Amino acid sequence: MSQSVLSLNNASIFQRENLILSDINITIDKGEFVYLIGKTGTGKSSFMKTLYGDLPLSKGNGAIVGYDLLTLKEKEIPFLRRKLGVVFQDFKLLNDRTVYLNLIFVLNATGWRDQKKMEVRIKEVLEKVGMSEKASKFPFQLSGGEQQRVAIARALLNSPELILADEPTGNLDPQTSVEVMEVLQEINKQGNTILMATHDYALLLKYPSKTLKCDNKQIFEVVQKTV
């Protein structure tokens, strides 16, 4: 029996009074790799923001990693985010700290206290993204692709039940995008569930997977044509 980490039923998303997406009915099961596609302005970011508690869900039903989005309280949001790994387009690394200290910062902020365990966990996540050698580097000493790998490592720190990757290759050239995608594919093979918003259709062709599309205030599953 597959376990769903995200399910939305007849859900609508508003930004203030504006309806962004309506009647969303989707389920993402544990272990899936799912794309979210759609033109700029079709609601992909608003959808992602709703999932990590930045925008309230005001209509319909939604559950994500065990939290009810309709009744989500302000004080629950930090706990929800601990069960999610979020990867942004612009990395959001702290430039005045090394890679290692960027990761320590997140562990401290999410309640880790045991120094030894923190060191072990950082080593594990950097190994997963092929960045073990770069722990003492500052973000500005890394390429864009390397910074995004660190951002993915950061998202993995608390063993999230779902990784939300919002245009993770949006600032990268095609070759680097493929390298970052390889990292995400590998993480997915190890059992991590990933929802990735993207407008890079080349990646969809190279790594076909379940695809949701935002269009005309709707989200629906796209059946990919096999060549």
Fold of the domain built from segment(s) 4-89+158-222: Rossmann fold (3.40.50)
Q: How confident is the model at residue 41 (pLDDT cuts 50, 70, 90)?
A: confident
**Assigned token pair, 81:** 């985010």
Q: What is the pLDDT of residue 205?
A: 93
Number of CB atoms found within 10 A of residue 125's CB: 23
Q: Is the confidence at residue 201, as pLDDT, over 80?
A: yes
| pTM for the full predicted model | 0.93
Number of CB atoms found within 10 A of residue 31's CB: 15
Q: Is the confidence at residue 108, as pLDDT, over 50?
A: yes
**Among 172, 171, 133, 173, residue whose Cα is nearest residue 153:** 133
Q: What is the pLDDT of residue 225?
A: 60
For tokens 């993402």, the residue is: 28
First to last CA, the chain: 31
Give the integer Cα–Cα distance in Å for 160 and 78.
13
Q: What is the pLDDT of residue 11?
A: 96
Complete DSSP assignment for 18-82: EEEEEEEEEEEETT-EEEEE--TTSSHHHHHHHHTTSS---EEEEEETTEESSS--GGGHHHHHH
| Portion of the chain with pLDDT greater than 70, in percent | 97
Mean pLDDT value across residues 194-217: 94
Mean pLDDT value across residues 43-64: 93
Q: What is the pLDDT of residue 207?
A: 95
Say if residues 190 and 33 touch (Cβ distance below 8 Å): no
